[in-house]
């Protein structure tokens, strides 16, 4: 069970890193003038702008916004967002709860079996 919990956490960790990488790519695409992601009739403006004025909806915690402002390059931004993001913390908690439940279940089974 510990091996499955560890494997599940590693899978989530890889998913999260790829998700952050795509998020950074999106951020870079939004900053590029002349891309074909907007309607040509919109005069360079998105058809439905987000609150931040970009092309895609954006909601980030203050720690993430600080990382965006202070990152020297895209790779450093991926590392920092992965470090301060919520997904890995929640995945870690989920896996720990899973391990705890498995231990309780195993102990209960052993106690019932030894009666």
- Could you report the per-residue pLDDT of 63-111, keeping only the tens digit for each? 888 888 898 998 898 888 888 877 777 788 888 888 898 899 999 999 9
pLDDT > 70? residue 49: no
pLDDT > 50? residue 38: no
Task: Return the number of other C-beta atoms located less than 10 Å from residue 77's C-beta.
Answer: 22
In the prediction, which pLDDT does 107 show?
95
Predicted confidence band of residue 58 (pLDDT cuts 50, 70, 90):
low
User: Rounded to the nearest 10 degrees, how much is the dihedral formed by the CA atoms of 43, 46, 51, 57?
Assistant: -160
In the prediction, which pLDDT does 13 show?
81
Task: Return the number of other C-beta atoms located less than 10 Å from residue 43's C-beta.
Answer: 7
Q: How many helices (H) and strands (E) does the chain have?
A: 4, 0
70 or 31, greater pLDDT = 70
What pTM did the predictor assign?
0.50
Predicted confidence band of residue 9 (pLDDT cuts 50, 70, 90):
confident
Instruction: Give CA separation, 88 vs 10, 18, 72, 93, in Å.
Output: 10, 12, 23, 9
């Amino acid at each position: 069970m510990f091996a499955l919990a560890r494997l599940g956490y590693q899978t989530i960790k890889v998913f999260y890193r790829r998700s952050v990488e795509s998020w950074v790519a999106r951020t870079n695409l939004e900053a590029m003038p002349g891309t074909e992601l907007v309607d040509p009739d919109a005069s360079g403006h998105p058809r439905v702008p987000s609150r931040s004025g970009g092309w895609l909806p954006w909601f980030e915690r203050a720690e993430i916004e600080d990382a965006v402002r202070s990152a020297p390059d895209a790779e450093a931004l991926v590392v920092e967002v992965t470090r301060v993001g919520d997904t890995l913390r929640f995945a870690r908690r989920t896996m720990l709860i899973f391990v705890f439940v498995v231990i309780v279940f195993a102990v209960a089974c052993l106690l019932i079996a030894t009666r």
